[in-house]
Amino acid sequence: MPNSSNEYLNIVETLASIFTINKGELKILLMRKQSEPYKNYWILPGDILPKHQTTEENLQKAIYGKMGLPEIEMEQCQIYSNLDRDPDDRIIALSYIGLVDSTLVELKREPRPEYITEWFSIDSLPKMAYDHEEIIQGSIEYLRKKLLNSTVLKSFFPSDFTLPELQRLYEQILGKTLDRRNFRKKFISLGLIEDTGYKNEGTAGRPAKLYRFKDKIEEVNLF
């Protein structure tokens, strides 16, 4: 029989780190907190888990209700249980990550005027409430390992992209500068991408070739 003592009762919340790529830059979707504590700071979308929902149901409901996003494939990555996570209650956080295509998700996104949301570069995060910046950094580290896999990378680039965009993403994730020629040579030699025959016209500088991932690619480690 479960022990009903308050000593063993804990509040659980789900939190989503939703990432996308915009012009080769990794961004995360955040929500501005509109009440105290931490009013006007930014937080990850999520919600407190009630008894009648699974964690996945709870998270999808929060993402749709607060962000207006259709169902997103989410993956649990970490648990946060520090005693001082919240100033008022003992709350355990289950952290999830999701990868979305920036163009497609905005087309499908429903307006939620009662919530203030915005995409932020992972290199320029705003003031974060609670321990959400720590959770974001943990999600980025988790994502860094996943992006070394070709099939995961394809979910970020379902449509056309340039090799400089792809390189900027890797430099941002890995935290180091990569040689342009070696990067280009490596990706083309892997046989994962194909030339579309088009270029990104209308941008500053010399137009770059547009590539896309092949329909069927092998799962390989990229770096």
| 175-185 per-position pLDDT tens digit | 889 899 998 99
Domain residue ranges in the chain: 6-146, 150-213
pLDDT band at 174 (very low <50, low <70, confident <90, very high): confident
Under CATH, to which class is 150-213 assigned? mainly alpha
* Topology alike, domains 6-146 and 150-213: no
Give the pLDDT confidence score for residue 203 in this predicted structure.
Answer: 61
DSSP state of 38: S
Task: Specify the amino acid at residue 18.
Answer: I
The tally of CA atoms less than 13 A away on the side-chain side of residue 40 is 0
Give the pLDDT confidence score for residue 223 in this predicted structure.
Answer: 63
User: Interior CA angle at 164 toward 204 and 73, to 5°?
Assistant: 115
Asked if omega into 37 is within 30° of 0 (cis), the reply is: yes
Q: Report how far residue 19's alpha carbon sits from residue 75's, in angstroms, rounded to the nearest whole number.
A: 12
Max mean pLDDT among 53-62, 142-151, 191-200 falls in 53-62
Could you tell me which CATH number the domain at 6-146 has? 3.90.79.10
Q: Does the pLDDT of residue 137 top 60, yes or no?
A: yes
pLDDT band at 119 (very low <50, low <70, confident <90, very high): very high
Give the pLDDT confidence score for residue 125 in this predicted structure.
Answer: 97
Q: Does the pLDDT of residue 133 top 70, yes or no?
A: yes
Neighbours of 72 (CB within 10 A): 18
Q: What is the mean pLDDT of the chain?
A: 88
Q: Does the pLDDT of residue 1 top 60, yes or no?
A: no
Give the pLDDT confidence score for residue 40 in this predicted structure.
Answer: 97
pLDDT band at 156 (very low <50, low <70, confident <90, very high): confident
pTM of this structure: 0.84
User: Interior CA angle at 146 toward 125 and 70, to 5°?
Assistant: 65
